[in-house]
Structure 1
Amino acid sequence: MSGEYVLWFDPRCSASRRALSLLRERGVEPALRRPLEEPPSADELAALLRALGLPARAVARRDEDEYQVLRLSDRTPEAELVEALAAHPRMLERPILVAGARAVLARPPERVLELLGPP
């Protein structure tokens, strides 16, 4: 089941580690996408947001320094926020599990189970 799932993951993030553990407990070995090491393009983020069915502000970590420094807010235009997230991936919420055309923001980590079939 490895190629079917991609987990946007940060090994320093306890929620990311928990999500990975939950998947592995169910026999799923996802491909790991590390946005901090390999930043996504704006196009890749736009596709991710479509799969999530969420606007960029729903996956932006407002408490990150970059968010404050860049003076981003709920009034920031969507395209501008997507570009900012691509340029500063620390602002992107994680973990996120992608399964084909669907995705889920795994906050809490147990939400990854929503994309798995029945046990």
Structure 2
Amino acid sequence: MLTIYHNPRCRKSRETLGIIEDSGAMVQVVEYLKTPPAKGDLKQIIEKLGIKPEDLIRKGEAIYKEKYKGKTLTDDEWIYAMEENPILIERPIVVKDNKAVIGRPPENVKELI
């Protein structure tokens, strides 16, 4: 079973979900702007991605530019920022068991199918 942290307004997220659906894989869709992942879930996702929390931040978002640009935050502070402002979370993220990928490009999801 795959889990996709999805934003239906995002083209890359829709393309990634389409690849999953076309493959016939079972998928749980989490619209993360409506149901943001909790701190513990974010930590697990980041660990499965093998990246630092700051690397999961969407730096083009207005809230990033207003509140965080140029600042040095701890890993926990970045996670808190994403928890409080889920729009900052890069999308889409697809998780399967102990692995995760960011669907940029959408074809990255094929590693998990």
TM range (shorter): over 0.9
Q: Which residue of 2 aligns with 1:10?
A: 7
Output aligned runs, 1:1-119, within 5 Å.
4-73=1-70, 75-116=72-113
CA RMSD in angstroms, aligned pairs only: 1.2
Aligned residue identity for 1:88: N
Distance 1:37 1:89 in 2: 9
Query: Moved runs in structure 1, 4+ residues, more than 2 A?
Result: 71-75
Q: How far did 1:24 drift?
A: 1.2
Contact 1:72 / 1:81 at 8 angstroms: preserved in 2? no
Contact 1:9 / 1:33 at 8 angstroms: preserved in 2? yes
TM-score normalised by length of structure 1: 0.89
Distance 1:63 1:110 in 2: 22
Contiguous gaps of at least 5 residues in structure 2: none
TM-score normalised by length of structure 2: 0.93
Q: How far did 1:74 drift?
A: 6.6
Aligned residue identity for 1:101: N
Distance 1:106 1:37, change over 3 A: same
- Aligned length in residues: 113
Distance 1:15 1:31 in 2: 17
SS at match of 2:107: helix
Contiguous gaps of at least 5 residues in structure 1: none
Deviations 1:49-83 (A, max 9, x none): 01111111111000111112222447221110110
Distance 2:90 2:48 in 1: 15
Counting aligned pairs with the same residue, the percent is 29
